[in-house]
Amino acid sequence: MSDSELKKILTRDPAEKEFHQAVQEVIETIKPVLDHHPEYRQLGVLERITEPERVILFRVPWMDDGRNVRVNRGYQVEMSSALGPFKGALRFHPSVNLGILKFLAFEQTLKNALTTLPMGGAQGGSDFEPKGKSDDEVMRFCQSFMAELSHHIGQDTDIPDGGLGVGAREIGYMFGMYKKQRNEFSGVLTGKGLQWGGSYMRPQATGYGVVYFAAEMLAARNETFEGKTCLVSGSGNVAQHTAEKIIELGGNVIALSDSSGFIYDPEGIDRKKLDFVKRLKNLKRGRIKEYIDKYSETTYTESDTSLDHNPFWSMKADCAFPCAMENEIGENDAYNLINNGIKLVCEGADMPSSPEALKIFMDKKILFAPGKAANAGGVAVSGLEMAQNRMLLNWSAEEVDHRLKTIMKNIHQNCLHVADRYGLPGNYLAGANIAGFVRVVDATLDQGLI
């Protein structure tokens, strides 16, 4: 792609910086493919796959507990249905805007392609902040959000999933409203409760998948998790299950965080301590700071955005698992990780490494896994949830876990294989971007100019 083609894509929506970042990262790594396939350029594939098929934007009015009217903005970005019905997470967070959802939908399209399951790419959500709201407020918001979204989604067209700020509680409220609006009990959402259409292992799938992927990376170098110290940022769904699987495989998780700060436990967070974190975050909806009240040998450090680095990434460890937010690892953080001898960085979150950090990891040849490959286990099990819904049956937890492991192993192999084929051995970033891109583009071209 020429600079002018890229410029055209980027200048169309100048304020969408996260979307630009995601597109630029992919374009830089797929250059060898574009050189190999001049027809891709002639057929305008990049312009086609970076422009959403459809974007829905809507008003979400709801009433808080003080009977005040609140109005949030709802979105659904339907990026690509080349490989199957639109599929991607919903995100409820005050930072949500169109650019963030377009970046997530673009990443999701390539991620879903890597799973090889028949799923297109999408992403939706709202600038609603569930933190600090009562259950009743969250329910009223979810119902209002779904009252509109239900007109646009369906089990054959668009199947949203849980995501950041959208857990089992939110999915439950939205599923209830969809059913009422459409008079239809269908597999329209994934991440559902086990008793009403959910799949075993969906809550665990993203985090477990991240660690299965990292274990494959280590195994390719004849190493294991045994005795390795690990930093896991965040303390939500992905972080909890990443930590859980690392502990099970013999690794030592020494830190977790939330948006207010982080805890450091020099003795390591064992299974019992992690259960405390799960209860704290999932049931009490508390703050990670409360960990130090229970475990006194630990420290808590408040977030400080005035610093030019995040002290979380300055701690000495063998492996880093960013599992919270986009761009949480900046340039100085990447240097700090490397100076402290980090061996592996495996992304649980979507795009947690800034472009500067990515460049440093690549230049220093750190064992690095991009989120679109490493965290694909969540959407993969959501794909398996859709399959089970269609068949009106439930696979056992063991069966789903076995399938998840196989999918993560295959994604790992595919990334390595494709990177090798394009003369970039061991480069998982290029392998993932190229493998996902080719699959989406070939399907897009097969289906004509639509």
Binding site residues, ligand NDP, CB under 6 A:
131, 162-165, 167, 206, 233-239, 257-260, 323-325, 328, 348-350, 375, 378
Tokens of 406: 């196989």
Angle between helices 397-421 and 428-446 (to 10 degrees): 100
Identify which of residues 26 and 238 has a Cβ nearer to ligand NDP in the complex: 238
Nearest approach in angstroms of CB 101 to ligand NDP is 11
123 phi and psi angles, rounded to 5 deg: -165, 140
Q: What is the longest distance spanned by two Cα atoms in the chain?
A: 63
Q: With respect to ligand NDP, which residue has the nearer C-beta, 40 or 145?
A: 145
DSSP 269: -
- Shortest Cβ contact with ligand NDP: which residue? 236
Q: Which is nearer to ligand NDP, 80 or 237 (CB)?
A: 237
Q: Which CB, 206 or 444, lies closer to ligand NDP?
A: 206
Give, for 104, the enclosing helix (H) or strand (E): helix 98-115
Shortest CB 270 distance to ligand NDP, Å? 20
Smallest distance, Å, CB 5 to ligand NDP? 28
Alpha-carbon distance 340 to 199, whole Å?
40
Nearer to ligand NDP, 92 or 395 (CB): 92
- Sheet containing 299-302: order of strands: 299-302, 261-264, 252-258, 229-232, 319-321, 344-346, 367-369
Task: Please name which of 446, 439, 436 lies closest in space to residue 22, comparing C-alpha atoms.
Answer: 436
Beta-carbon contacts of residue 395 (< 8 Å; ≥ 6 apart): 199, 200, 384, 388, 403
Q: Which of 33, 84 has the CB closer to ligand NDP?
A: 84
Closer to ligand NDP by Cβ: residue 74 or 130: 130
- In the complex, minimum distance from the CB of residue 378 to ligand NDP, in angstroms, rounded to a whole number: 3
| Amino acid sitting at position 339 | N
Could you tell me where the beta strands, DSSP code E, fall in 28-166?
Answer: 54-63, 69-80, 86-92, 121-126, 158-161
- Cα Rg of the chain, angstroms: 21
3-state secondary structure of 58: strand
- Residue closer to ligand NDP by CB (options 146, 210) is 210
CB of 233 to ligand NDP, least distance (A): 6
CB of 66 to ligand NDP, least distance (A): 23
Tell the smallest beta-carbon distance from residue 446 to ligand NDP (Å).
28
Question: What single-letter amino acid sits at 101?
Answer: L
Contact 264, 315 (CB under 8 A): yes
Minimum distance, C-beta of residue 77 to ligand NDP, in the bound complex (Å): 14
